[in-house]
Each structure stands twice: as structure tokens, then as C-alpha cells.
Amino acid sequence: MSARIPAESFHPGEFLREEIEARNWSQIELAEILGKSERLVSEIISGKRTITPSTAIGLAAAFGTSAQYWMNLETSYQLSKTSEQDNDVARRANLYEKFPVKTMIKRGWITATENLDVLEQQFLNFFEMNCINDAPGFAYAAKKTSYDNFPIEQVAWIGRVRQIAKAMVTSKYSEKSLRESLDKLKTLLISPEEIRHVPRILSECGIRFVLVEALPKSQIDGACLWLNKASPVIGMSMRYDRIDNFWFVLRHEIEHVLQKHGQDGGCIDVGLESENSNNNITDEKEQVANAAAAEFCVPQADLQSFISRVSPFFSEQRVVLFAQRLKVHPGIVVGQLHRRLGRYDLLKSHQVKVRALILPSARADGWGFSENIALRGFHAKPERSRPIRPGCHRPEPPAPQ
């Protein structure tokens, strides 16, 4: 008898029935030949019992086949019963390979569910994709530092910034207003507490300002995005909670907006803190943004003059007096000295923390805050709910076209 490979996966009892019918045997006769009970033979034929190696050896001797043939039939049938489950495992593994699933669920960006179809659809919506194997539907481009490939954690961070920004209502964007607002922002450099006014000033210029805590491994500092050519977004991660870093990154992103950088693909700034000088950067857009940020924090001619006069002895008194003359907080001067000189231990105590001062007045996600933004029919579970703040509009209008 030649071995057969079934086109479809039937339970081995179907093949056993054919064999005994071909020989005009009854189930009782096969049981007697095998030395097994009639019940065992009946249950194998009906598919209620599996074929064990011992039974396979008996069947092989009875029908002139190999024991492996009967074991293969059994294995094929058992695998066919679990194919749907295995497919779900493959789909779930694909999600975990492509996206930071656990982190996004923990942050409330994706709602945990046992329904795999619902889970996949949430990721499709979040990343604006039509198919789970597509690239994200929104454009992005990063100033690379130590990354050869673009980490999905950065893409997810951008997606959350976009998601929150789409739900915000601001004044119509005006480049003229934004340029004029730089003088207002400059007056805030004198005191850490004044940072709370930044979201309002930017909103009045038509800038959607969003703070989203960075995901692990992302090393992202900030981004300039455009929902459309008239709707700029500034996102910041505040991964360094220091007054100097906040103002440098903010002014850096404002310059991207003023120069209309990123309209065809958001500018994502990674590792700004690692740059010691503009000379280390080859990207022209980043050179422009860095130069504007440094000049805003501390006029560079004044900084160079100060360094020439007092180097290498930067006493606390001299730095504080210099900052007072410029009407900026000493921590901002210290930050610029760090970047210029590479002396990161110099007067670090003046680099005060500011994150807690701005979070209550900003649209923020992370650090115990969560924006409960609807995800096209799915609602993220917030980490901590909070009341609507004055000046914050919660209606969720359609995304700009």
C-alpha cells in the first residue's frame, strides 16, 4: 500500500475507516487483529481519540504501512486544529515586533484588549496606516545622532504629539505674530516661574504646543510638525528638566517653524544636548535653528566677550552678575557656557528644574498627566484625569485638512 498525503487535514479515523472498508473488515475484527478494545478503535475512527505511537505501530503492521505514516496523519490533523490560534500568535508577535506595545498601553495611548482585531485597528488608527505592515501615514525626518535606523519609539512619540495637537484649538497661525512674540518670550527668561506663560503666548500665535514625555530609548528632545501648511506644532519631551535646556529646545523648534522647516516631513530633534557647538552639525537647517536658539538664550557676542574676560575662572558671582545684566536666569548662562566650553560641571546648581512649573498650563502627556484623546472611536484609559484648565479648549474638532 502506497503512502498518502491528504490534500486537506482530516482526522486519521477517516483514513482508518477507508482501510478497513477496503478489506471488508469490521471494527470488531480490526480490534481483534490489533489486540485492542473495540471502544478504542471506534473512538479513533470517530476522531474522539488520538493515535499514540503504540497504536501507530499496530496499524502499520496490520495495513503494511509505516508507523510514521499514521503519526504524520495525527500530527497534521492536530496542527490544523490550532492553525487559527497560531495565526493569532503570529499577528500578535508582528505587533510586538513593529511597535512598543506594552509601553503604549501603559501610557494609555492604546487600550488593552483581548480582541486582536480591535488591537490592530487601534495601531492602524494611531499611526495613520491602512495595513499593519505599511509605514506610518505621517511624514517625519530626524537629525540623526547615534541611530542608524529610526526607532519606532520616536515615531510613536510623534504620533502622540500629532494626536493631541489635532484636538487643540488655537488662533490662526501668523508668522508675523510669532516673530513679535519672541520679545515677549525673551522677558520670561529672567525667572523660572515665568515659564508658565509659554503655552498661552504660543497659542495666540497659532502654535499648537504639546509636551509629551519621551519613551524609553527614544532620546528625543523636540519636534516641529505641521498638520497642514497653516497649522504648525511644537512638541517637546523635556527629557532634561533644566531651565537652559527648555529655552534652548523651544527656541530651536520656533526657528524651524519660522523657516517653515518640516512642512513635507516633521523635523525631529534627537540628541540636541550632545552638540557642543554649531560646528559639529552638518545639516544647514539645524545650524540655523541652533544659532537662533543660542542667540536667544544669551547673545553670542556678549557671551564670547564674557568668556574672554574671565576665562578660565568662572566664579559664581561673575556669572550671576553677567546674567543680571542680560536679564536672564543664571542657569541659562550656565547652559550656554556648558555648550560652548564643554565644562558640564560648572555651576550646575543654577540649572533649576522647570517641568513642574509648566505642566499645569500646557497640554501634556506623561509625568502623571494624560490627555484623554479619542482615538477614532477608541478611548485611551488616562493615567490621571484632571479638570479643564482655563484657556485650554477640550472640544475635539475634525483634524485640519
Query: Is 264 part of any domain?
Result: yes
Question: Which segments of 82-151 does DSSP mark as H helices, in order?
Answer: 83-98, 101-106, 116-126
The answer on 67 and 154 residing in a single domain is: no
The answer on 61 and 173 residing in a single domain is: no
The answer on 223 and 359 residing in a single domain is: yes
pLDDT at 68 over 60: yes
The answer on 177 and 249 residing in a single domain is: yes
What per-residue confidence (pLDDT) applies to 257? 97
Residue 4 or 175, more confident: 175
Listing DSSP states for 228-291 in one string gives: ETTEEEEEE---S--HHHHHHHHHHHHHHHHTTTTTTSEEEEE-GGG--SGGG---HHHHHHHH
Tell me the residue range of the domain where 72 lies.
Answer: 12-81
Closest CA to 142 of 291, 263, 228, 271: 271
pLDDT at 362 over 60: yes
What per-residue confidence (pLDDT) applies to 203? 97
What per-residue confidence (pLDDT) applies to 365? 95
Most confident of 43-47, 149-153, 198-202: 198-202
The answer on 199 and 55 residing in a single domain is: no
Closest CA to 231 of 171, 280, 176: 171
Pick the last residue of a domain from 59, 81, 103.
81
Query: Is 184 part of any domain?
Result: yes
Residue 219's contacts (CB-CB under 8 Å, 6 or more residues apart) are 145, 146, 239, 270, 271
Pick the last residue of a domain from 47, 65, 81.
81
CA distance 135 to 128: 9
The answer on 75 and 200 residing in a single domain is: no
What average pLDDT does range 258-266 have in this prediction?
Answer: 87
pLDDT at 103 over 80: yes
CB 185, CB 210: distance < 8 Å: no
pLDDT at 281 over 70: no
Percentage of residues of the chain with pLDDT beyond 70: 84
What average pLDDT does range 283-293 have in this prediction?
Answer: 92
pLDDT at 382 over 50: no
pLDDT at 153 over 70: yes
What per-residue confidence (pLDDT) applies to 400? 42
pLDDT at 395 over 60: no
CB 146, CB 129: distance < 8 Å: no
Helix or strand or coil: residue 131? coil
What average pLDDT does range 352-381 have in this prediction?
Answer: 77
Residues in a beta bridge with 365 = 212
The answer on 253 and 154 residing in a single domain is: yes
What average pLDDT does range 307-324 have in this prediction?
Answer: 94
pLDDT at 7 over 80: no
The answer on 146 and 77 residing in a single domain is: no
What per-residue confidence (pLDDT) applies to 144? 44
In angstroms, the Cα distances linking 248 to 58, 74, 332, 349 are: 80, 67, 9, 18
Percentage of residues of the chain with pLDDT beyond 90: 70
The answer on 62 and 179 residing in a single domain is: no
What average pLDDT does range 243-266 have in this prediction?
Answer: 93
Pick the last residue of a domain from 42, 62, 81.
81
What's the structural domain count of the chain? 2
What per-residue confidence (pLDDT) applies to 4? 45
pLDDT at 353 over 80: yes
Task: Tell me the Ramachandran region of residue 28: left when phi exceeds 0, alpha when psi lies from -120 to 50, beta otherwise.
Answer: alpha
373: burial class by Cβ within 10 Å (0-12, 13-18, 19+)? buried
Q: How confident is the model at residue 237 (pLDDT cuts 50, 70, 90)?
A: very high
What average pLDDT does range 357-379 have in this prediction?
Answer: 76
Listing DSSP states for 98-114 in one string gives: HS-HHHHHHTTSS---S
pLDDT at 293 over 60: yes
What per-residue confidence (pLDDT) applies to 149? 57
Listing DSSP states for 208-229 in one string gives: EEEEEPPPTT--EEEEEEEEET
What average pLDDT does range 49-63 have in this prediction?
Answer: 93
Q: Average pLDDT, whole number, for the chain?
A: 85
pLDDT at 342 over 50: yes
